[in-house]
Amino acid sequence: MNPLYDRLPEIYRVKDEEQTPPGQLENYLAIADFIFDAIHENIESLYHDLFIETCVDWVIPYIGDLLGTSHLKGDAWTLRADVADTIALRRRKGTLASIERLTYNLTQWGIHAVELRENLVWNQHLNHQRPDIGGNPPYAAATRFTPIRGGTVTLRDPAMLSLLNTPFDPFAHIPDLKPPTIGNIRYNLPNLAIFLWRLKDYRVRFTKPIVAIQATGTVEPGEATHVVRVYVHPLGEPVRLFNTYQFDPDKDPPVITQIDATPGPIATARLTTNSAAGKPEKYVAIDTYNPTNLNISSLDISEVGLQLHLPEPEFAVTDLSKWKIRGENLCAWETGIQPPLKDREIAIDPIIGRIAIGFDNLELATALKNHLLLTYTYGAVGTVGAHPISRTLPEKWHEETVVVKSVNLFEGHTLNQALNNIQNETSPVVIEIRDSRVHVLDLSAIAGTIDEDGGFNLQLNSTLIIQAADGQRPIIKLTRPLRFRPINIAAAGNLTLRLEGLYLTRDESFPVDAPLIARTAIDRLEIVDCTLDPGGQKLLDGTAAGKRKPLRTSLKLRQNYGFSEADKKTFDRTPEIILERS
Protein backbone atom coordinates (compact mmCIF):
# COMPACT_ATOMS: atom_id res chain seq x y z
CA MET A 1 0.00 0.00 0.00
CA ASN A 2 1.28 3.43 -1.05
CA PRO A 3 -1.45 6.01 -0.33
CA LEU A 4 0.46 8.95 -1.85
CA TYR A 5 1.09 7.05 -5.09
CA ASP A 6 -2.54 5.85 -5.20
CA ARG A 7 -3.75 9.48 -5.17
CA LEU A 8 -1.96 10.29 -8.47
CA PRO A 9 -3.97 10.39 -11.70
CA GLU A 10 -4.14 7.02 -13.38
CA ILE A 11 -2.16 8.23 -16.46
CA TYR A 12 0.95 8.70 -14.36
CA ARG A 13 0.62 5.26 -12.78
CA VAL A 14 0.18 3.66 -16.22
CA LYS A 15 3.28 5.38 -17.62
CA ASP A 16 5.23 4.43 -14.47
CA GLU A 17 4.50 0.78 -15.20
CA GLU A 18 5.78 1.22 -18.77
CA GLN A 19 9.20 2.39 -17.63
CA THR A 20 12.24 0.14 -17.49
CA PRO A 21 12.44 -0.98 -14.80
CA PRO A 22 8.76 -0.41 -13.89
CA GLY A 23 7.57 1.27 -10.68
CA GLN A 24 10.31 3.87 -10.37
CA LEU A 25 7.91 6.65 -9.40
CA GLU A 26 6.10 4.36 -6.96
CA ASN A 27 9.32 3.45 -5.18
CA TYR A 28 10.36 7.09 -5.02
CA LEU A 29 7.07 8.20 -3.48
CA ALA A 30 7.19 5.29 -1.04
CA ILE A 31 10.07 7.00 0.73
CA ALA A 32 8.08 10.20 1.12
CA ASP A 33 4.96 8.27 2.09
CA PHE A 34 6.83 6.65 5.00
CA ILE A 35 7.64 10.13 6.30
CA PHE A 36 4.02 11.24 5.92
CA ASP A 37 2.86 8.11 7.81
CA ALA A 38 5.16 8.95 10.69
CA ILE A 39 3.84 12.52 10.76
CA HIS A 40 0.25 11.24 10.68
CA GLU A 41 0.89 8.82 13.55
CA ASN A 42 2.50 11.60 15.55
CA ILE A 43 -0.50 13.85 15.02
CA GLU A 44 -2.80 11.03 16.16
CA SER A 45 -0.71 10.40 19.26
CA LEU A 46 -0.77 14.13 20.09
CA TYR A 47 -4.54 13.97 19.91
CA HIS A 48 -4.62 10.95 22.24
CA ASP A 49 -2.31 12.77 24.65
CA LEU A 50 -5.00 15.40 25.18
CA PHE A 51 -7.01 12.90 27.28
CA ILE A 52 -5.98 11.29 30.56
CA GLU A 53 -7.53 7.96 29.53
CA THR A 54 -5.41 7.56 26.38
CA CYS A 55 -2.25 9.62 26.94
CA VAL A 56 1.18 8.02 27.28
CA ASP A 57 2.66 7.72 30.75
CA TRP A 58 5.09 10.65 30.46
CA VAL A 59 2.21 13.09 29.75
CA ILE A 60 0.36 12.31 33.03
CA PRO A 61 2.44 14.70 35.25
CA TYR A 62 1.93 17.54 32.76
CA ILE A 63 -1.86 17.13 32.78
CA GLY A 64 -1.65 16.99 36.56
CA ASP A 65 0.25 20.28 36.59
CA LEU A 66 -2.49 21.91 34.53
CA LEU A 67 -5.03 20.77 37.13
CA GLY A 68 -2.87 21.74 40.08
CA THR A 69 -2.89 18.24 41.58
CA SER A 70 -0.16 17.21 43.97
CA HIS A 71 2.41 14.78 42.62
CA LEU A 72 2.02 11.30 44.05
CA LYS A 73 4.64 8.59 43.95
CA GLY A 74 3.55 5.29 42.52
CA ASP A 75 2.96 3.29 39.39
CA ALA A 76 1.76 5.00 36.23
CA TRP A 77 -1.70 3.47 36.47
CA THR A 78 -2.22 4.84 39.99
CA LEU A 79 -1.12 8.32 38.90
CA ARG A 80 -3.44 8.11 35.90
CA ALA A 81 -6.37 7.16 38.16
CA ASP A 82 -5.58 10.02 40.55
CA VAL A 83 -5.56 12.63 37.79
CA ALA A 84 -8.67 11.12 36.15
CA ASP A 85 -10.55 11.31 39.45
CA THR A 86 -9.47 14.92 39.87
CA ILE A 87 -10.83 15.79 36.42
CA ALA A 88 -14.14 14.05 37.20
CA LEU A 89 -14.47 15.90 40.50
CA ARG A 90 -13.68 19.26 38.90
CA ARG A 91 -16.31 18.70 36.23
CA ARG A 92 -18.98 17.96 38.83
CA LYS A 93 -17.99 21.06 40.84
CA GLY A 94 -19.29 19.48 44.04
CA THR A 95 -17.15 20.06 47.12
CA LEU A 96 -19.16 17.68 49.31
CA ALA A 97 -19.05 14.85 46.76
CA SER A 98 -15.34 15.50 46.18
CA ILE A 99 -14.56 15.12 49.87
CA GLU A 100 -16.50 11.87 50.01
CA ARG A 101 -14.81 10.46 46.92
CA LEU A 102 -11.29 11.41 47.99
CA THR A 103 -11.83 10.02 51.49
CA TYR A 104 -13.11 6.74 50.05
CA ASN A 105 -10.16 6.51 47.64
CA LEU A 106 -7.69 6.98 50.50
CA THR A 107 -9.32 4.71 53.10
CA GLN A 108 -11.72 2.37 51.23
CA TRP A 109 -14.06 2.93 54.18
CA GLY A 110 -17.71 3.88 54.04
CA ILE A 111 -17.97 7.68 54.28
CA HIS A 112 -20.77 10.22 54.44
CA ALA A 113 -20.20 13.98 54.58
CA VAL A 114 -22.84 16.35 55.96
CA GLU A 115 -23.03 20.15 55.86
CA LEU A 116 -24.21 20.71 59.41
CA ARG A 117 -25.84 24.04 58.61
CA GLU A 118 -28.57 22.05 56.87
CA ASN A 119 -29.48 20.49 60.25
CA LEU A 120 -29.94 23.76 62.14
CA VAL A 121 -33.35 24.72 63.51
CA TRP A 122 -34.88 27.76 61.84
CA ASN A 123 -38.20 29.60 61.63
CA GLN A 124 -40.29 29.23 58.47
CA HIS A 125 -40.68 32.43 56.45
CA LEU A 126 -44.39 32.69 55.77
CA ASN A 127 -43.95 34.51 52.45
CA HIS A 128 -41.22 32.18 51.14
CA GLN A 129 -41.99 28.76 52.54
CA ARG A 130 -39.59 25.86 52.02
CA PRO A 131 -41.59 22.72 52.72
CA ASP A 132 -38.96 20.33 51.25
CA ILE A 133 -40.80 17.16 52.29
CA GLY A 134 -44.55 17.04 51.97
CA GLY A 135 -45.25 18.98 48.78
CA ASN A 136 -46.63 22.48 48.49
CA PRO A 137 -47.89 24.43 51.50
CA PRO A 138 -49.60 23.65 53.78
CA TYR A 139 -47.74 20.29 53.69
CA ALA A 140 -50.76 18.35 52.51
CA ALA A 141 -48.72 15.25 51.67
CA ALA A 142 -46.73 15.14 54.93
CA THR A 143 -47.75 12.69 57.62
CA ARG A 144 -47.40 13.05 61.35
CA PHE A 145 -44.27 10.87 61.10
CA THR A 146 -42.52 13.13 58.56
CA PRO A 147 -39.59 15.17 59.96
CA ILE A 148 -39.98 18.67 58.51
CA ARG A 149 -36.70 20.38 57.64
CA GLY A 150 -35.82 22.87 60.32
CA GLY A 151 -38.60 21.58 62.55
CA THR A 152 -38.69 19.81 65.88
CA VAL A 153 -38.33 16.08 66.50
CA THR A 154 -41.28 13.78 65.99
CA LEU A 155 -41.53 11.23 68.81
CA ARG A 156 -44.05 8.92 67.18
CA ASP A 157 -41.76 6.55 65.29
CA PRO A 158 -38.87 4.69 66.99
CA ALA A 159 -37.37 3.83 63.59
CA MET A 160 -37.09 7.50 62.71
CA LEU A 161 -35.77 8.35 66.17
CA SER A 162 -33.00 5.79 65.71
CA LEU A 163 -31.47 8.18 63.15
CA LEU A 164 -30.93 10.87 65.79
CA ASN A 165 -27.27 11.97 65.97
CA THR A 166 -26.31 9.63 63.14
CA PRO A 167 -24.90 10.50 59.71
CA PHE A 168 -28.46 10.49 58.33
CA ASP A 169 -30.08 12.58 61.07
CA PRO A 170 -33.16 14.33 59.54
CA PHE A 171 -33.95 16.43 62.61
CA ALA A 172 -33.13 20.03 63.43
CA HIS A 173 -30.62 21.02 66.12
CA ILE A 174 -29.73 24.27 67.87
CA PRO A 175 -26.27 25.69 67.09
CA ASP A 176 -23.32 24.31 69.05
CA LEU A 177 -20.66 27.02 69.30
CA LYS A 178 -17.93 24.88 70.81
CA PRO A 179 -14.89 24.04 68.64
CA PRO A 180 -15.26 20.84 66.58
CA THR A 181 -13.69 17.71 68.05
CA ILE A 182 -13.32 14.17 66.80
CA GLY A 183 -16.28 12.01 67.77
CA ASN A 184 -18.66 14.90 68.50
CA ILE A 185 -21.13 16.54 66.13
CA ARG A 186 -21.06 20.34 66.41
CA TYR A 187 -24.06 21.71 64.52
CA ASN A 188 -23.13 25.18 63.26
CA LEU A 189 -23.10 27.21 60.06
CA PRO A 190 -19.46 26.71 58.99
CA ASN A 191 -19.05 23.09 60.18
CA LEU A 192 -18.74 20.01 58.02
CA ALA A 193 -19.05 16.49 59.50
CA ILE A 194 -17.30 13.52 57.91
CA PHE A 195 -18.63 10.17 59.15
CA LEU A 196 -16.45 7.10 58.59
CA TRP A 197 -17.30 3.42 58.92
CA ARG A 198 -13.87 2.04 59.79
CA LEU A 199 -15.02 -1.49 60.66
CA LYS A 200 -14.92 -4.02 57.86
CA ASP A 201 -18.08 -6.03 57.25
CA TYR A 202 -17.60 -9.81 56.92
CA ARG A 203 -20.31 -12.16 55.74
CA VAL A 204 -20.50 -15.77 57.00
CA ARG A 205 -22.48 -17.86 54.53
CA PHE A 206 -24.79 -20.82 55.18
CA THR A 207 -24.01 -21.48 58.83
CA LYS A 208 -25.92 -23.89 61.02
CA PRO A 209 -27.15 -21.91 64.05
CA ILE A 210 -28.10 -23.21 67.47
CA VAL A 211 -31.90 -23.63 67.48
CA ALA A 212 -34.39 -24.59 70.20
CA ILE A 213 -38.20 -24.76 70.36
CA GLN A 214 -40.20 -23.33 73.24
CA ALA A 215 -43.94 -23.78 73.76
CA THR A 216 -45.66 -20.51 74.68
CA GLY A 217 -48.48 -22.06 76.75
CA THR A 218 -51.82 -20.26 76.82
CA VAL A 219 -52.17 -17.97 73.83
CA GLU A 220 -54.74 -15.61 72.39
CA PRO A 221 -56.19 -16.16 68.87
CA GLY A 222 -53.61 -15.37 66.19
CA GLU A 223 -50.63 -15.74 68.54
CA ALA A 224 -47.91 -18.32 68.06
CA THR A 225 -48.11 -21.55 70.05
CA HIS A 226 -44.40 -22.29 69.58
CA VAL A 227 -41.36 -20.04 69.41
CA VAL A 228 -38.20 -21.12 67.61
CA ARG A 229 -35.25 -19.52 69.40
CA VAL A 230 -32.15 -19.04 67.24
CA TYR A 231 -28.63 -18.11 68.30
CA VAL A 232 -27.09 -16.55 65.18
CA HIS A 233 -23.50 -17.39 66.16
CA PRO A 234 -22.83 -21.13 65.61
CA LEU A 235 -21.33 -21.33 69.10
CA GLY A 236 -24.24 -19.52 70.77
CA GLU A 237 -22.11 -16.49 71.63
CA PRO A 238 -23.34 -12.89 71.41
CA VAL A 239 -22.58 -11.30 68.04
CA ARG A 240 -23.37 -7.76 66.88
CA LEU A 241 -25.11 -7.99 63.53
CA PHE A 242 -23.96 -5.62 60.77
CA ASN A 243 -25.40 -4.63 57.45
CA THR A 244 -23.37 -5.07 54.26
CA TYR A 245 -21.71 -2.22 52.39
CA GLN A 246 -23.85 -1.76 49.29
CA PHE A 247 -21.71 0.76 47.40
CA ASP A 248 -22.22 0.83 43.64
CA PRO A 249 -19.11 2.32 41.98
CA ASP A 250 -20.88 2.51 38.60
CA LYS A 251 -23.66 4.80 39.81
CA ASP A 252 -23.57 8.28 38.25
CA PRO A 253 -23.34 10.58 40.05
CA PRO A 254 -21.52 8.38 42.56
CA VAL A 255 -23.04 7.99 46.02
CA ILE A 256 -20.50 6.52 48.43
CA THR A 257 -22.81 5.67 51.33
CA GLN A 258 -26.60 5.67 51.56
CA ILE A 259 -28.97 5.26 54.46
CA ASP A 260 -29.71 1.60 55.32
CA ALA A 261 -26.79 0.51 53.09
CA THR A 262 -23.85 1.23 55.40
CA PRO A 263 -21.33 -1.32 56.75
CA GLY A 264 -22.35 -0.64 60.33
CA PRO A 265 -24.40 -2.13 63.18
CA ILE A 266 -28.06 -2.79 62.41
CA ALA A 267 -30.42 -0.51 64.34
CA THR A 268 -33.11 -2.51 66.14
CA ALA A 269 -35.91 -0.03 65.49
CA ARG A 270 -35.43 -0.04 61.72
CA LEU A 271 -36.27 -3.75 61.50
CA THR A 272 -39.98 -3.32 62.23
CA THR A 273 -42.33 -4.00 59.32
CA ASN A 274 -45.29 -1.82 60.32
CA SER A 275 -43.20 1.20 61.27
CA ALA A 276 -43.45 4.31 59.09
CA ALA A 277 -39.66 4.57 58.82
CA GLY A 278 -38.88 0.87 59.28
CA LYS A 279 -36.92 -0.73 56.45
CA PRO A 280 -36.54 -4.44 57.34
CA GLU A 281 -36.11 -5.35 53.66
CA LYS A 282 -32.87 -3.33 53.67
CA TYR A 283 -31.41 -5.54 56.39
CA VAL A 284 -33.14 -8.94 56.32
CA ALA A 285 -33.98 -11.36 53.50
CA ILE A 286 -35.87 -14.67 53.55
CA ASP A 287 -35.25 -17.42 51.01
CA THR A 288 -35.90 -21.15 50.63
CA TYR A 289 -33.74 -24.11 49.65
CA ASN A 290 -34.07 -27.87 49.20
CA PRO A 291 -32.22 -29.78 51.96
CA THR A 292 -32.41 -33.09 50.04
CA ASN A 293 -30.65 -31.70 46.97
CA LEU A 294 -28.38 -29.09 48.46
CA ASN A 295 -25.87 -27.28 46.27
CA ILE A 296 -24.34 -24.38 48.16
CA SER A 297 -22.97 -22.71 45.05
CA SER A 298 -26.46 -22.50 43.51
CA LEU A 299 -28.12 -20.75 46.45
CA ASP A 300 -28.84 -17.05 46.12
CA ILE A 301 -27.30 -14.62 48.58
CA SER A 302 -28.92 -11.21 48.87
CA GLU A 303 -27.07 -7.95 49.47
CA VAL A 304 -28.48 -7.43 52.96
CA GLY A 305 -26.78 -8.22 56.26
CA LEU A 306 -28.95 -11.12 57.49
CA GLN A 307 -30.56 -13.85 55.39
CA LEU A 308 -32.67 -16.80 56.56
CA HIS A 309 -32.63 -19.91 54.39
CA LEU A 310 -35.82 -21.91 55.08
CA PRO A 311 -36.26 -25.57 54.06
CA GLU A 312 -38.60 -26.76 51.33
CA PRO A 313 -41.28 -28.03 50.95
CA GLU A 314 -42.42 -26.95 54.43
CA PHE A 315 -41.84 -23.33 53.43
CA ALA A 316 -42.75 -22.29 49.89
CA VAL A 317 -41.44 -19.33 47.96
CA THR A 318 -45.01 -18.05 47.46
CA ASP A 319 -45.51 -17.82 51.24
CA LEU A 320 -42.57 -15.51 51.92
CA SER A 321 -44.75 -12.40 51.68
CA LYS A 322 -46.71 -13.56 54.76
CA TRP A 323 -43.73 -13.08 57.09
CA LYS A 324 -43.52 -10.07 59.37
CA ILE A 325 -40.34 -8.78 60.98
CA ARG A 326 -39.79 -6.63 64.02
CA GLY A 327 -36.82 -5.48 66.05
CA GLU A 328 -36.89 -6.61 69.66
CA ASN A 329 -34.82 -6.89 72.82
CA LEU A 330 -34.34 -10.64 73.31
CA CYS A 331 -31.81 -10.65 76.14
CA ALA A 332 -34.43 -12.21 78.45
CA TRP A 333 -36.40 -14.32 76.00
CA GLU A 334 -36.56 -17.16 78.51
CA THR A 335 -39.26 -15.21 80.39
CA GLY A 336 -41.29 -14.56 77.25
CA ILE A 337 -41.54 -11.89 74.57
CA GLN A 338 -43.84 -8.88 74.88
CA PRO A 339 -45.92 -8.32 72.91
CA PRO A 340 -46.25 -12.04 72.10
CA LEU A 341 -45.19 -13.26 68.67
CA LYS A 342 -47.80 -14.05 66.07
CA ASP A 343 -47.69 -16.88 63.56
CA ARG A 344 -44.80 -16.39 61.08
CA GLU A 345 -43.54 -13.32 62.87
CA ILE A 346 -39.78 -12.88 63.29
CA ALA A 347 -38.28 -10.90 66.18
CA ILE A 348 -34.60 -9.98 65.73
CA ASP A 349 -32.19 -8.63 68.30
CA PRO A 350 -29.20 -7.38 66.26
CA ILE A 351 -27.32 -6.24 69.36
CA ILE A 352 -26.72 -9.73 70.77
CA GLY A 353 -27.49 -11.83 67.68
CA ARG A 354 -30.71 -13.62 68.62
CA ILE A 355 -33.80 -14.43 66.55
CA ALA A 356 -37.23 -15.60 67.74
CA ILE A 357 -39.74 -16.97 65.20
CA GLY A 358 -43.38 -17.64 66.04
CA PHE A 359 -45.41 -20.60 64.70
CA ASP A 360 -48.82 -22.05 65.39
CA ASN A 361 -47.69 -25.39 63.95
CA LEU A 362 -45.20 -27.68 65.71
CA GLU A 363 -44.27 -29.47 62.45
CA LEU A 364 -43.14 -26.22 60.84
CA ALA A 365 -41.19 -25.30 63.97
CA THR A 366 -39.46 -28.71 63.98
CA ALA A 367 -38.59 -28.45 60.27
CA LEU A 368 -37.03 -25.05 60.89
CA LYS A 369 -35.07 -26.34 63.87
CA ASN A 370 -33.60 -29.19 61.84
CA HIS A 371 -32.81 -27.37 58.59
CA LEU A 372 -32.53 -23.62 59.17
CA LEU A 373 -29.41 -22.04 57.65
CA LEU A 374 -28.24 -18.47 58.17
CA THR A 375 -26.08 -16.01 56.29
CA TYR A 376 -25.09 -13.17 58.60
CA THR A 377 -22.69 -10.24 58.68
CA TYR A 378 -20.48 -9.02 61.51
CA GLY A 379 -17.87 -6.27 61.80
CA ALA A 380 -14.17 -6.34 62.67
CA VAL A 381 -11.25 -3.93 62.53
CA GLY A 382 -9.58 -5.80 59.67
CA THR A 383 -8.09 -9.07 58.55
CA VAL A 384 -6.77 -10.12 61.96
CA GLY A 385 -8.09 -13.50 62.97
CA ALA A 386 -10.35 -15.90 61.09
CA HIS A 387 -12.62 -14.12 58.62
CA PRO A 388 -14.41 -15.22 55.42
CA ILE A 389 -11.99 -13.58 53.00
CA SER A 390 -10.72 -14.46 49.54
CA ARG A 391 -8.19 -17.31 49.44
CA THR A 392 -6.55 -19.42 46.76
CA LEU A 393 -5.82 -23.12 46.79
CA PRO A 394 -2.07 -23.76 46.33
CA GLU A 395 -1.20 -26.15 43.52
CA LYS A 396 2.37 -26.64 44.76
CA TRP A 397 4.26 -26.37 48.01
CA HIS A 398 7.97 -25.69 47.64
CA GLU A 399 7.87 -26.99 44.06
CA GLU A 400 6.10 -30.20 45.14
CA THR A 401 2.65 -31.05 43.80
CA VAL A 402 0.11 -31.14 46.64
CA VAL A 403 -2.61 -33.67 47.38
CA VAL A 404 -5.95 -31.87 47.91
CA LYS A 405 -8.65 -33.23 50.22
CA SER A 406 -11.96 -31.43 50.62
CA VAL A 407 -14.08 -31.18 53.77
CA ASN A 408 -17.74 -30.23 53.47
CA LEU A 409 -20.37 -31.23 56.02
CA PHE A 410 -23.15 -30.55 53.51
CA GLU A 411 -21.69 -33.37 51.40
CA GLY A 412 -20.87 -35.63 54.35
CA HIS A 413 -17.09 -35.14 54.19
CA THR A 414 -15.73 -34.59 57.70
CA LEU A 415 -12.40 -33.31 58.95
CA ASN A 416 -11.79 -36.53 60.89
CA GLN A 417 -12.12 -38.53 57.68
CA ALA A 418 -9.66 -36.28 55.86
CA LEU A 419 -7.07 -36.76 58.61
CA ASN A 420 -7.35 -40.54 58.81
CA ASN A 421 -3.91 -42.17 58.26
CA ILE A 422 -2.42 -38.85 57.23
CA GLN A 423 0.99 -40.28 58.19
CA ASN A 424 0.93 -42.44 55.04
CA GLU A 425 1.04 -39.43 52.71
CA THR A 426 4.45 -38.71 51.21
CA SER A 427 3.49 -35.53 49.30
CA PRO A 428 2.29 -32.26 50.85
CA VAL A 429 -1.40 -32.44 51.76
CA VAL A 430 -3.88 -29.56 51.60
CA ILE A 431 -7.17 -30.07 53.44
CA GLU A 432 -9.59 -27.40 52.25
CA ILE A 433 -12.71 -26.81 54.37
CA ARG A 434 -15.44 -25.66 52.01
CA ASP A 435 -18.13 -24.57 54.43
CA SER A 436 -18.54 -22.29 57.45
CA ARG A 437 -20.03 -24.84 59.81
CA VAL A 438 -18.77 -26.25 63.12
CA HIS A 439 -16.40 -29.21 62.70
CA VAL A 440 -15.77 -31.36 65.78
CA LEU A 441 -12.19 -32.67 65.76
CA ASP A 442 -11.32 -35.61 68.02
CA LEU A 443 -7.75 -36.87 67.65
CA SER A 444 -8.59 -40.08 69.49
CA ALA A 445 -11.09 -40.99 66.73
CA ILE A 446 -8.59 -40.51 63.88
CA ALA A 447 -6.85 -43.57 62.47
CA GLY A 448 -3.07 -43.40 62.72
CA THR A 449 -2.76 -41.20 65.82
CA ILE A 450 -0.51 -42.22 68.69
CA ASP A 451 -1.07 -41.81 72.44
CA GLU A 452 2.08 -40.08 73.67
CA ASP A 453 3.08 -37.22 75.98
CA GLY A 454 -0.24 -37.18 77.80
CA GLY A 455 -2.57 -37.23 74.79
CA PHE A 456 -3.23 -38.35 71.25
CA ASN A 457 -0.81 -37.04 68.62
CA LEU A 458 -1.29 -36.61 64.89
CA GLN A 459 1.71 -38.16 63.13
CA LEU A 460 3.03 -36.37 60.05
CA ASN A 461 5.21 -37.67 57.25
CA SER A 462 4.89 -34.63 54.98
CA THR A 463 3.75 -31.02 55.11
CA LEU A 464 0.11 -30.60 56.14
CA ILE A 465 -2.00 -27.52 55.32
CA ILE A 466 -5.48 -27.12 56.76
CA GLN A 467 -7.15 -24.03 55.37
CA ALA A 468 -10.53 -22.44 54.86
CA ALA A 469 -11.84 -22.26 51.31
CA ASP A 470 -12.44 -19.00 49.50
CA GLY A 471 -15.02 -16.92 51.39
CA GLN A 472 -15.48 -19.43 54.24
CA ARG A 473 -14.79 -19.31 57.98
CA PRO A 474 -15.01 -22.81 59.45
CA ILE A 475 -15.05 -23.36 63.22
CA ILE A 476 -12.94 -26.25 64.54
CA LYS A 477 -14.26 -27.51 67.86
CA LEU A 478 -11.59 -29.53 69.66
CA THR A 479 -12.41 -32.29 72.14
CA ARG A 480 -8.77 -32.42 73.24
CA PRO A 481 -5.61 -30.35 72.62
CA LEU A 482 -3.88 -30.50 69.25
CA ARG A 483 -0.59 -32.41 69.27
CA PHE A 484 1.70 -33.04 66.31
CA ARG A 485 4.86 -35.11 65.91
CA PRO A 486 6.83 -36.64 63.02
CA ILE A 487 6.36 -40.30 62.24
CA ASN A 488 10.14 -40.54 61.88
CA ILE A 489 11.95 -38.43 64.48
CA ALA A 490 15.27 -38.62 62.64
CA ALA A 491 13.74 -37.31 59.37
CA ALA A 492 11.69 -34.37 60.61
CA GLY A 493 13.44 -31.78 58.43
CA ASN A 494 11.22 -29.27 56.58
CA LEU A 495 8.09 -30.78 58.11
CA THR A 496 5.54 -27.95 58.20
CA LEU A 497 2.04 -27.63 59.60
CA ARG A 498 0.05 -24.64 58.31
CA LEU A 499 -3.32 -23.57 59.74
CA GLU A 500 -5.05 -20.84 57.73
CA GLY A 501 -8.40 -19.13 58.19
CA LEU A 502 -9.58 -21.40 61.02
CA TYR A 503 -11.51 -20.54 64.18
CA LEU A 504 -10.18 -22.91 66.85
CA THR A 505 -12.31 -23.33 69.98
CA ARG A 506 -13.13 -25.90 72.65
CA ASP A 507 -15.83 -28.52 72.85
CA GLU A 508 -17.80 -29.01 76.07
CA SER A 509 -15.68 -32.10 76.86
CA PHE A 510 -12.37 -30.22 76.44
CA PRO A 511 -10.10 -30.37 79.53
CA VAL A 512 -10.48 -27.23 81.63
CA ASP A 513 -6.84 -26.18 82.01
CA ALA A 514 -5.50 -27.53 78.71
CA PRO A 515 -4.33 -25.24 75.84
CA LEU A 516 -5.68 -25.47 72.32
CA ILE A 517 -2.25 -26.49 70.99
CA ALA A 518 -0.11 -28.52 73.40
CA ARG A 519 2.63 -30.01 71.21
CA THR A 520 4.33 -29.07 67.92
CA ALA A 521 7.30 -31.43 67.62
CA ILE A 522 7.85 -30.52 63.95
CA ASP A 523 10.14 -28.18 62.05
CA ARG A 524 7.67 -25.33 61.50
CA LEU A 525 4.19 -24.32 62.66
CA GLU A 526 2.43 -21.56 60.71
CA ILE A 527 -0.77 -20.00 62.09
CA VAL A 528 -2.14 -17.60 59.48
CA ASP A 529 -5.42 -15.67 59.65
CA CYS A 530 -6.63 -17.84 62.54
CA THR A 531 -8.54 -17.19 65.74
CA LEU A 532 -7.41 -19.17 68.78
CA ASP A 533 -10.38 -18.76 71.10
CA PRO A 534 -9.01 -17.05 74.24
CA GLY A 535 -12.28 -17.18 76.17
CA GLY A 536 -13.54 -14.06 77.91
CA GLN A 537 -16.79 -13.88 75.90
CA LYS A 538 -19.69 -12.03 77.45
CA LEU A 539 -22.33 -14.16 79.15
CA LEU A 540 -25.96 -13.11 78.95
CA ASP A 541 -26.84 -13.98 82.53
CA GLY A 542 -29.61 -11.43 83.07
CA THR A 543 -27.40 -8.85 84.80
CA ALA A 544 -26.91 -5.36 83.41
CA ALA A 545 -23.15 -5.63 83.06
CA GLY A 546 -23.03 -9.30 82.20
CA LYS A 547 -20.32 -11.72 83.33
CA ARG A 548 -17.58 -13.07 81.10
CA LYS A 549 -16.20 -16.52 80.50
CA PRO A 550 -12.79 -17.22 82.05
CA LEU A 551 -9.70 -16.58 79.96
CA ARG A 552 -8.10 -19.70 78.53
CA THR A 553 -4.62 -20.58 77.26
CA SER A 554 -4.31 -21.04 73.52
CA LEU A 555 -0.72 -22.19 73.06
CA LYS A 556 1.49 -23.90 75.65
CA LEU A 557 4.56 -25.87 74.56
CA ARG A 558 7.14 -27.70 76.64
CA GLN A 559 10.87 -27.28 76.15
CA ASN A 560 11.57 -30.98 75.56
CA TYR A 561 8.92 -31.02 72.75
CA GLY A 562 7.23 -34.00 74.44
CA PHE A 563 10.10 -36.43 73.75
CA SER A 564 12.20 -38.50 76.07
CA GLU A 565 15.78 -37.34 76.49
CA ALA A 566 17.07 -39.83 73.90
CA ASP A 567 14.40 -38.95 71.34
CA LYS A 568 15.01 -35.26 71.94
CA LYS A 569 18.66 -35.66 70.91
CA THR A 570 17.57 -37.56 67.82
CA PHE A 571 15.03 -34.85 66.96
CA ASP A 572 17.75 -32.19 67.24
CA ARG A 573 15.62 -29.31 65.95
CA THR A 574 14.17 -26.08 67.30
CA PRO A 575 10.59 -25.77 66.01
CA GLU A 576 9.79 -22.44 64.40
CA ILE A 577 6.39 -20.88 65.15
CA ILE A 578 5.01 -18.25 62.76
CA LEU A 579 1.97 -16.14 63.70
CA GLU A 580 0.51 -13.93 60.97
CA ARG A 581 -2.66 -11.87 61.42
CA SER A 582 -3.86 -14.25 64.14
The ranges of the chain with pLDDT < 50 are none
Q: What is the pLDDT of residue 170?
A: 85
354, 380, 406 - which closes a domain = 380
For residue 92, being part of any structural domain is answered with no
Alpha-carbon distance values, 210 to 207, 237, 369 (Å): 10, 10, 8
At 433-454, the pLDDT tens digits run 999 999 999 999 999 888 888 8
440 and 507 in a single domain? The answer is yes
For residue 332, being part of any structural domain is answered with yes
Spatial neighbors of 98 by CB under 8 A, at least 6 apart, are 89, 92
How far is it, in rounded angstroms, from Cα 150 to Cα 28?
82
For residue 217, is it left (φ>0), alpha (ψ between -120 and 50) or beta? left
455 and 406 in a single domain? The answer is yes
Are the beta carbons of 474 and 435 closer than 8 angstroms?
yes
Q: What is the pLDDT of residue 253?
A: 64
Give me the amino acid identity at 392: T
380, 404, 438 - which closes a domain = 380
333 and 404 in a single domain? The answer is no
211 and 255 in a single domain? The answer is yes
276 and 356 in a single domain? The answer is yes
363 and 493 in a single domain? The answer is no
Alpha-carbon distance values, 419 to 291, 423, 460, 496, 516 (Å): 27, 9, 10, 15, 18
What's the whole-number average pLDDT of the chain?
Answer: 85
255 and 345 in a single domain? The answer is yes
For residue 544, being part of any structural domain is answered with yes
473 and 553 in a single domain? The answer is yes
450 and 413 in a single domain? The answer is yes
How far is it, in rounded angstroms, from Cα 66 to Cα 545?
59
How far is it, in rounded angstroms, from Cα 133 to Cα 166?
20
319 and 250 in a single domain? The answer is yes
364 and 260 in a single domain? The answer is yes
At 357-407, the pLDDT tens digits run 998 889 988 999 999 999 999 999 888 899 999 998 888 888 888 889 999
For residue 32, being part of any structural domain is answered with yes
* Residue 448 neighbours by CB distance under 10 Å: 14
For residue 130, being part of any structural domain is answered with no
For residue 100, being part of any structural domain is answered with no
Residue-range definition of the domain harbouring residue 15 = 3-48
- DSSP annotation string for 432-450: EE-S-SEEEE-GGGSTT-E
For residue 101, being part of any structural domain is answered with no
Give how many domains the chain has, as a whole number.
3
421 and 333 in a single domain? The answer is no
For residue 82, being part of any structural domain is answered with no
How far is it, in rounded angstroms, from Cα 171 to Cα 153?
6
Q: What is the pLDDT of residue 339?
A: 87
